[in-house]
Structure 1
Amino acid sequence: MSKYQSVLAHLYPPVSYNINGEQFTAQCAVDGQAFDCLQASAEAILNVIEPVTSNNLLADWERLCGITTDVSKTYSERVKRVIIQLNTIGGLSIPYFLRLAESIGYTIQIKEFSPLKNDLPNAGDIPIQNSPTERLIFMWRVTVINGDDNIIYFRAGQSLAGDRLVDFGDPIIEEFFEDLKPAHTYCYFAYQ
Structure 2
Amino acid sequence: MALTRDDYHGILHTLGPPGQALPREPESFWQRLLEARAGAFQRVDARADTLIEEADPRTASDLLPDWERVTALPDPCVTGEQTLNARRDGVVRVLTTTGGASRPYFKGLAADLGYDIEIEDYLAHTVGSDVSEPIRGIDWRWAWTVRAPSDTVEYFAVNSGVNEPLASWGNERLECVISRLAPAHSLVLFAYGEDENGG
Q: Is 1:136 the equivalent of 2:137?
A: no
> Which of 23, 33, 36 is matched with 1:26 structurally?
33
TM-score normalised by L of structure 1 = 0.65
Distance in 2 of aligned mates of 1:114 and 1:37? 65
Tell me: CA distance 1:180–1:46, structure 2 relative to 1, closer, same or farther (3 Å). same
Q: Distance in 2 between matches of 1:187 and 1:83?
A: 26
Report whether the alignment pairs 1:100 with 2:114.
no
RMSD: 3.3
Which secondary structure state, in structure 2, belongs to the residue aligned with residue 106 of structure 1? coil
Question: Taking structure 1 as reference, are residues 6 and 66 closer, same or farther at Cα in structure 2, changes over 3 Å only?
Answer: same
The yes-or-no answer on 1:65 pairing with 2:71 is yes
SS in 1 for 2:62: helix
Q: CA deviation at 1:77?
A: 2.6
Per the TM alignment, residue 62 of structure 1 is displaced from its structure 2 partner at its CA by 1.7
Q: Which amino acid aligns with 2:6?
A: S
- Which residue matches 2:183? 182
Q: TM-score under structure 2 normalisation? A: 0.63
Give distance in 2, aligned partners of 1:32 and 1:146.
60
Equivalent in the alignment of 2:165: none
**Closer, same or farther in 2 for the Cα pair 1:83/1:135, shift >3 Å?**
farther
- Number of residue equivalences: 161
Query: Taking every aligned residue pair, what percent have the same amino acid on both sides?
Result: 25
Structure 2: runs of 5 or more not aligned: 155-168, 194-199
Q: Which residue of 1 aligns with 2:162?
A: none
How many Å separate the matches in 2 of 1:169 and 1:186? 22
